Chains A and B, each alone.
Chain A
């Protein structure tokens, strides 16, 4: 079994809504990818990041706060993964 990391892509899932799946990545990669995604989208857009690295559920909201964006929701999807929904200010 190898680490099932996917290629990291920022997909558009709806108008003004983007998603990224970073399961398989440990710190600091989810946070770094999230910061870059927030750089790439337009103010007002919503960004969803799916991850399975528990510390990122604390580090990403902290980074979002530092960047003055807004965490809309942190959802536990199952026993091992989470989705964080962020709106770019």
Chain B
């Protein structure tokens, strides 16, 4: 007689809807753990536990991601349940990494990206952390929303810099003021990856959303995607495909029909300022300060995580925030303690100094996903930064310059929206596979939003570094304070000539 054998499952089934591991294929890592940090806010104790997990399961390595997650690598599947139990105690969850499924399903809502200075930023219109929390809490582990056609990305910010890049989200919300009333404008259907219809900046929805309406707007937009997103083809399953094929008017009509109300029309474009980091020391709303600390490649060792936790306990009321630019913020520092806090940060190898580029340069984790060979994305940005700082020194200073580098066309490094966007491509020749890069310029967010245009393809890593150096030299020589302005002042052919000077 056939029978079933019992295996224990209860201990892990409780995690199945809130925790998973993603696939790695590089650096001998098979799986990564992407810890969602709600609203980007952690305590020093959280950081110590993550450091312990990293030591025990992830070779003492951690990286901050552009959705304010903390990612560990080298995770063994068999250790999953033990790790999940520890994170569950902290109240954390992970992405549900269903994107390896070959079809259009198992998509989830990703960590809601939030202004990392929310609640303390003296220039913000509204603190969005409670709104982000409500959205996150609703979707995490919600069985009705774990089988979306694909992932769905939401951001919300109340700050003047729109540091959350709403233009590249499926739903990007940013605070606006209309006749003295604070509310939100929305951008829909942005995404930079290659899935159809290709990289897209989102489109302004053109409505005014009151803070109390934000949750319903987010839920309804995800409902619209769930119901009408393409389930026939994974390549057409992102929300941008629906926005592109329906058009903005139909999206808005169907969205409002589902919402059960018409929102007030509100003419708006992209945010006035967007895609900037809260760099360095900034005054808070109260008498305190926050320090945004640049982190090379977003990578932190477990030892540094613990040191940051200690510094946070001493100077930052035990709080830390991670930013969409892979940096972290130490909030609530008393003015008379700033010097001591900065000194200690310097002593642990995290000096708050150098060019603005240290805060804004972005590279993906192509070393771990296995889509690049050396020099990987983070190695390249390090080389570029070192070269530019060593050549231009203080002249580089506050130049507004976004250098974004992706190891592959999936664009986790956001090369499409970099003033200088660099895309990794593999070159296969008689001597094997070598890493090459395409160089693009002119990406931008904010009122002048545009995707970058390719200048030259299949460059060697050395050629890329020299071309970037040429471009920055010309930009500084011509007196521009913003590399985006430099790009707009010259036709693409002229920029190509400038970049190529002396490049063999």
A interface residues, Cβ below 8 angstroms from B? 1-5, 8-14, 18, 24-29, 31-33, 35-37, 39-41, 52-55, 58-59, 62-63, 79-80
Contact = CB atoms under 8 A, between A and B. Distances in A.
B199 interface: no
Given A28-B75, A55-B31, 11 more contacts: A8-B13, A10-B5, A11-B4, A12-B2, A26-B21, A28-B21, A29-B20, A33-B7, A33-B9, A36-B7, A53-B101
17 contacts: A3-B146, A9-B4, A10-B4, A12-B4, A18-B5, A26-B98, A26-B100, A27-B20, A28-B78, A29-B16, A32-B12, A36-B8, A36-B9, A37-B7, A55-B31, A79-B102, A80-B101
Interface residues of B, number: 36
B102 A54 contact: yes
A59 B103 contact: no
Nearest to B24: A55
B22 interface: yes
Interface in B210-253: 226
Q: Which of B5, B21, B97, B100 has the most CB of A within 10 A?
A: B5
A35 B77 CA distance: 10
A27 B21 contact: yes
Given A27-B31, A35-B78, A11 B102 contact: no
Contacts of B77: 27-28, 31-32, 59, 63
B261 interface: no
A4 B22 CA distance: 20
A83 to B, nearest CB: 15
B229 to A, nearest CB: 11
Given A13-B2, A26-B98, A31-B78, A79 B103 contact: yes
Contacts of A28: 20-21, 31, 75, 77-78, 80-81
Contacts of A1: 147, 226
A33 B9 CA distance: 8
B178 interface: no
Which 7 A-B pairs rank lowest in CB-CB distance, beginning with the nearest?
A28-B77, A28-B80, A31-B77, A55-B23, A36-B7, A27-B21, A12-B2
A4 B146 CA distance: 10
A2 B146 contact: yes
A55 B30 CA distance: 9
B144 interface: yes
A54 B97 CA distance: 11
Interface in B349-385: none
Q: Which of A4, A28, A29 has the most CB of B within 10 A?
A: A28
B78 A32 contact: yes
A69 to B, nearest CB: 14
Contacts of A79: 102-103
Given A52-B101, A59-B77, A26 B7 contact: no
B147 A10 contact: no
Q: Which of A12, A35, A53, A55 has the most CB of B within 10 A?
A: A55
B4 A58 contact: no
A8 B9 contact: yes
Contacts of A3: 17, 106, 143, 146-147
A39 B20 CA distance: 22
A58 B30 contact: yes
